[in-house]
Amino acid sequence: MRIVILDGHTVNPGDLSWEPLEELADVKVYERTAEEDIIPRCKGAEIVLTNKVVLDAHVLNMLPRLQYIGVLATGYNVVDIEVASRQNIVVTNIPAYSTESVAQMVFSHLLNIVSRADYYANENRRGRWSQSPDFCYLDHNLFELSGKRMGIVGLGHTGTATARIAQAFGMNVQAYTSKEEDELPTGIRKVSLDDLFSTSDIVSLHCPLTEDTHHLVNKQVLATMKTSAILINTGRGPLVNDEDLADALNHGIIAAYGADVLTTEPAPADNPLLKAQNCYLTPHIAWATREARERLIDQCAANVKAFIDGEPINQVNV
């Protein structure tokens, strides 16, 4: 069998090995693939692996030999699942490989916002501390996380991991979730979505992107939040309305926003969040710790081997 990897660079920019896959079949790795190159590169391959390259109906209809698509991520909206199923193409994903890494990024953003470590480090590089008449200087109000109320929207793997870390900081955790109250981990209180946004000091988004959650955070919801509230988004960019959120930040309707995702990626230069006040963005790297990427490649290889053996795992179009 022949395996084609369409966009291997983000998963493995050179610090890891594709050997687990190379032991299974002939592997051709492309670091990036433009839209016009997808079909020529995939022709003749039984197995195609993609992270963000879109495999739509037109592409799939042009690849009669294709038997398997492995999405190198948890979300699989880059594949036309209906067409793949109709053509008996197995589609798999990589679930839960980056849970701890993404939860860690939630608190990277949160701690940066409440402690301003990056700001003060940059000030000191410019000589600010050396010129200070006092042993310290304070430009921002700093506050403790202990005792604050954290609201988590979506209590799957990552939401649960985030809740566990929040509790370790001494925070009171409440969640909006489809789980029943008696299914929740100890110490987490189930609340309505309205209550969560209006009463939380910090809100962290971990729900999937659906028609119901698209622009979940909008002008109306932002108006119900505390002016001191911090919003964190390591889920999906379109969970928030970028324009509404930028306006809320610039007018002090909420205090700060930390996110690892945007509605469109890479970030368009005119996205208002890039220049909004108290907005802190990282370039979709929460998933990309070395450990998480190693797990991703290992699980991808396990998925492919299971398919070759005739017993697919992590199939999303059963």
What residues have CB less than 8 Å from 91, skipping those under 6 apart?
A: 68, 69, 70, 71, 76, 79, 81, 84, 85, 315, 316, 317
Amino acid in position 171: M
Place of tokens 């981990």: 185
Environment class of residue 268 by beta-carbon count within 10 Å: exposed (0-12), middle (13-18) or buried (19+)?
exposed
Alpha carbon of 169 to those of 15, 118, 143: distances in Å? 33, 20, 13
Q: Which of 149, 157, 206, 236 is catalytic?
A: 236
d(CA 44, CA 305): 19
Read off φ and ψ for residue 32, nearest 5 degrees: -145, 155
Q: Which of 9, 265, 290, 291 is catalytic?
A: 265
Contact 96/74 with Cβ under 8 angstroms? yes
Q: Which one, of 285, 33, 275, lies nearest residue 45 by Cα?
A: 33
Q: Which one, of 207, 248, 223, 273, lies nearest residue 75 by Cα?
A: 207
Active site residue 46: no
d(CA 190, CA 171): 15
d(CA 259, CA 268): 15
Active site residue 22: no
Q: Which of 157, 206, 284, 295 is catalytic?
A: 284
Contact 59/39 with Cβ under 8 angstroms? yes
Active site residue 236: yes
Q: Which one, of 258, 248, 151, 281, lies nearest residue 203 by Cα?
A: 151
Q: Which residues are catalytic?
A: 236, 265, 284
